[in-house]
Amino acid sequence: MRSKPVIGISGGIDVSRGGPLGDIKSSVPQDYIHSVEKAGGIAIILPVTEDEESARIIMELTDGLLLTGGHDVDPGTYGEEPLPMLQETLPIRDRFESLLIEEAMKCGKPILGICRGAQILNASLGGTLHQDLSYANGSRLCHDQKTDGRFPSHSLLVNENTILSEIMARDQKVNSFHHQSVKHTAPGFIVSAISKDGVIEAIEMEWPHSSEMEEKPFVVGIQCHPEAMVDEEVWALELFRRFVTEARRVMK
């Protein structure tokens, strides 16, 4: 029997011109793999595919789903037309990750969405996004830092009685590399952290106390990039450890 849970990490599609063996590549930044392994899990990259059955089989074979950063989410996912500040989208990835999320939820497996991952988590389950923070009233802070991602930029205000409040300080400094954000949370989700200019920075699935579930479901989305900070910040590694621990519980 396996002693470590297997974490499926959603991959992106990179296009590089001039390669002798093909221009299109499936990949994820190595920091995600390092973070999962450091937290005690086994990392597997999930390539984007149009095969719908793959999502079901993948979630049967894995114990947790890590949704990574990347392209803007296609606004059609949440019923909007594209606005001028929208950047490059990858609808095939949106569709596949939405299927992965659906299957993970059916199986009761933990989900951690990071940056774009938090956005597709919210959008695929019925929430909406700001296509650019210039459309968000009151957004004034720099949410796309120019410094090394290992180091924090702005602060989060973490709400009490949330999973993040068990991991992060009430006023927590984080890194920041995004221009989109959650506008309205999906049904069944709550806001677990905001920036000091009011931008939603983290969401998680609500835990109805009347539910038969003994523990809070670990379905969490966060805008910052903890995978870049696991060697520098205690909270970042603890977030991955909590995620992997939840995946281990499901595995058993």
Q: Active-site residue among 97, 115, 143, 201?
A: 115
Q: How far apart are CA 193 and CA 191, in angstroms?
A: 6
Q: Active-site residue among 103, 201, 204, 227?
A: 227
Q: Judging by beta carbons within 10 Å of its beta carbon (0-12, 13-18, 19+), is residue 85 exposed, middle or buried?
A: middle
224 is annotated as an active-site residue: no
Q: Active-site residue among 130, 225, 233, 246?
A: 225
178 is annotated as an active-site residue: no
107 is annotated as an active-site residue: no
Active site residues: 115, 225, 227
